[in-house]
A and B are shown apart, each in its own frame.
Chain A
Amino acid sequence: MHTDEAVHAIKFGELLENNSYKYDPIEYHGPTLNYFTLVSAAIGGKHNLKQINEYTLRLVPAITSLLLIISLLLLLNKYNTKFILLTALLFSASPVLQFYSRYYIQEVLLVTFSYVSIFTFYKFFKTKKIIWSVISGLLVGLTFSTKETSIIIFFSAIVALIILSFIYVDFRKKIIITPLNLSLVFLTALVISILFYSSFLSNPKGIIDSITTFGHYFNKANTNQNHIYPWYYYLKLMLYTNNHLIFYSSIPIFIFSILGFYSSFSHNIKIGNGYFFKFVAIFSFTQAIIYSFISYKTPWLVLNFWVGFLIIAALGIYYTYKSIRKRTIKNMFTILITMVLFHNVYQLYITSFKYPYQPENPFTYSQPTDNIIVISNKIINVVKTLPKGNDTFVNIIAKDNDYWPLPWYLRKLNNVAWNNKVPDTIFNFPIILSTPNFENELIEKLYTLPPAGKKNLYIPLFSEYLEIRPGIEMRGYIQKDFYDTYLRTSNKTNFNKP
C-alpha cells in the first residue's frame, strides 16, 4: 500500500468504526472515497479496520474505472458502435488508467465523475430529458465532493464552452438550457455537495470548509517545496521511459490524440455530435496546460487529461482509418492499431503486475518497497508467540512521522505508539521500530532511564537492511527475553511440522 492509500485507509477506519468523518480543508481531499468505501465494506460484511483488507478498499477505484468504461454506452448511436468499442479498448488497455484504478486514492473517482458528467450533459442536450439534467447535477456534485482540484475541471469546462461559443454560433443554440433544467443541475449538485461535505449533516462546518479549502490549495500549489517538477513532467511521464527494467511509451496514442484533435475540428463528425468531441478536445487540452504549469505535480494527476486524450485518440484512429482508400493499406493500419493495443496490454502487465512498486516504474511515486511486508510480517509473527499477543506494546519512531504505510500493516495490533521522537517511556516497549537517526538516543534512554535490574537488553529484530521506501531505512529492536520466547516458540512449531 502506498502512503497515501494507507492514510486514506486509516481515516476510512475511523468512519467505519465510529461513524466519524470530518472534512479536512488542509489535506486528504474530499469525502466521496470514504463514503463509497462504506458500501464495499458492507458488501464484504466488514465492521472495523482490522477486518478490512486491500481488496475492500481498492474495489472502489476498480469498480469506478469499470463504470467509466461502461458509461461510454451513453454515447452510443447507430453510427458509432465501432468507435465506442475502440474507445472502450483504449480505456481498458491504458496502462496508466489501469495502474491507478488499483490505487485507493480519489483520482479515478474524480476522473470518472467528471467525464461521465460530460457524457450525461451530452445526453441531456441531445434528448432534452429532465432525468439527464438531474443525473448531470448529481455527477457535478460528486466531482466537487471528491477533490479540490475539481475547480480545474470546472474551469477547463468553462474555457471549452467559451471558446466553442465564440467560434461557433450554432453551438450557442445547441447548449441552451432552460432555467428549470439549469436549476435542477445546480440544486442537485448543491444537495450532493452539502450532504457529503457536512458528513450527512453531522458536521455543518464542512460546507464552509469546502469553500475555504481553495485558499489552502492555491497556497500549496505556489509554496510547497515538495513534488516540484518542470512543465514537461507529464509529457515525459506518458511519452517515454526507458531503463534497465521497463520500456514504456504512449507515443502512438499521443500522435493519434493530435490527429483526433485535428479531426474534431476539421471533419464533419458523423459518429456523434461534433461539438462533443470539440468540447472534449479543448477540455482535455486546457487541463493538460494547467496541470503542466502548476509546479506541484504527482503522476496520478495525469489521468485528468489523459482520459480525454484517449477519447480523442480513438477519434483520430477512426478518422485515419476512414480516410484510407486502399484496402491493403486499411488492413495494414488495422494490424498497426492491433499491435499498439497489444503493446499497451503488455505495458499494462509490466507496470501493474510485473513491476508494480519498483522505482523504475514511471507510475510509482514514493512507493513502499516489498520490505514493508517483511517488516510487518516479522512483527506480527513475533507478537503471535508472545504472552500478550496483539496486545504487546510496540513503539514506532520516525522523523517527521515518516512511518507510513506501517499503520495500515500493523492495524491488528492493539498497543502501538506512533512517535516522531524517542519518548522517555520507551523502555516499556519490548518491540521498537525506528529510523536510524534515533538509534543513539534510543540506546541512551533504554539503558539510562530504567533503574538497575530493570534495564532490559535489546537486540536487533532484523538480520538485514530493510527500508519502508527507497532510502528510508527502518531498524527493529526487541527485548532479548521476548526474542528468546519467539525463537523457542517458532522452533517448537517448526519441529511439529510434518
Chain B
Amino acid sequence: MFNSNNKIFLFLILLSLLSFASQNIFAQKLVPIKIDLPKAMFVGTPTNMQIEKLEKPLGKPRAPFLAPKGTKNVALGKPVTSTDEMPIIGEIDYITDGDKDADEGYFVELGPFTQHITIDLQKEYNIYAIVVWHYHKQPRVYYDVIVQIADDKDFTKNVRTLFNNDLDNSSGQGKGTDWHYVETAEGKLIDAKGEKARYVRLYSKGNNSNDLNHYIEVAVYGK
C-alpha cells in the first residue's frame, strides 16, 4: 500500500508535526514588555541667551588648520601673568599646561568684569594661530574676548589686535567687529596671520551666566 516514496513523505510529515508540537510544549511564554513613557515635565521660563552677533557652533569637528611645517604650540609651559593675581579657583599656570579638560582642577577662575592674561613666549615667534578654551562644560558665551600680541610685556610696542568681539568698547581696547561665539571643547581658533610677537594677551569680561572669567587653556601655534 505504501511505497518507499510515500513512506518517506509520511515520515517527514510526522517529523514536522512532532517538531511543531515540541515547540509549543517547550516554548517560553512571550509577553509584551511594558516600556516606560515618562510624560514631559513642565518647566518655568528658561534663561535667556540674548546675545547679539552670536555665531552658531559648527556642529561638526573643525577641519585642521594649515600651517608651515614645524609649527607647534609655543605657549606650552610658558609663564602666564594675570590682572587677577589670586584666582578664585585654580592656578594661572593651568592656562599653558596643555590640559584642555573642562572638569574642576583644569580651569582657572578669575575675578569679575574685564580681566586679562598675558603669556610670555620668552622669545619672538611667527604666530600662525591661537586657540583659546574658556569654560565649556555648559553652553557659555564669554564677552569682550580680545586677543592681542605685542613686542613688550606692557603692551605698548607694536600692539596688534587679532580678535575683538567687544562690540561696545566696554573693555576699552577699541570697538570690535568679531562675533560672539558659544564655547565648545574644540576651543576658539583665531588666525594670527603669521605675525611676529613675543607676548600674547587675552581679555574677557564675564559670560552669559555670571560676571567671572575662566580659562582652561591657550595654545599659540608658531615657529
Contacts and interface: CB of A to CB of B under 8 A. Distances in A.
B221 to A, nearest CB: 25
A273 B109 CA distance: 60
Interface stretch (B11-19, B43-51, B77-85, B156-164): B43-51
A360 B52 CA distance: 6
A209 interface: no
Interface stretch (B57-65, B112-120, B123-131): B57-65
Contact of B45 (A227, A466, A467): A227
Interface stretch (B21-29, B33-41, B146-154, B187-195): B33-41
A278 interface: no
Q: Which of B36, B58, B139, B182 has the most CB of A within 10 A?
A: B139
Contact size range, A: 35 or more
Contacts of B49: 359, 366, 469-471
A469 B46 contact: yes
Interface stretch (A4-12, A123-131, A199-207, A284-292): A4-12
B54 interface: yes
B182 A471 contact: yes
A7 B38 contact: no
A415 to B, nearest CB: 6
B50 A465 contact: no
Given A3-B43, A366-B46, A401-B40, A467 B56 contact: yes
A418 B39 contact: yes
Contacts of A245: 52
A470 B54 contact: yes
B38 A418 contact: yes
B218 interface: no
Chain B interface SS verdict (over half): loop
B53 interface: yes
B141 interface: yes
A464 to B, nearest CB: 6
Contact of A7 (B43, B47, B48, B139): B43
Contact of A402 (B43, B59, B141): B43
Nearest to A364: B50
Given A471-B141, A471-B182, A473-B59, A416 B37 contact: yes
A470 B38 contact: no
B50 A365 contact: yes
Contacts of A465: 56-60
Contacts of A226: 44-45, 47
Interface string A428-458: 1100000000000000000000000000000
B42 interface: yes
Nearest to B39: A418
A243 interface: yes
A399 to B, nearest CB: 9
A423 B116 CA distance: 43
A243 B51 CA distance: 10
B60 to A, nearest CB: 7
Contacts of A365: 45, 48, 50
B41 A420 contact: yes
A10 B42 contact: yes
6 contacts: A4-B45, A7-B42, A227-B48, A366-B50, A417-B38, A423-B36
Interface of A: 3-4, 7, 10-11, 27-28, 226-227, 243-245, 298, 359-360, 364-366, 393, 400-404, 407, 415-420, 423, 425, 428-429, 464-467, 469-473
Please give me the 5 A-B residue pairs with the lowest Cβ-Cβ distance, nearest first: A465-B59, A471-B139, A407-B40, A418-B40, A401-B41
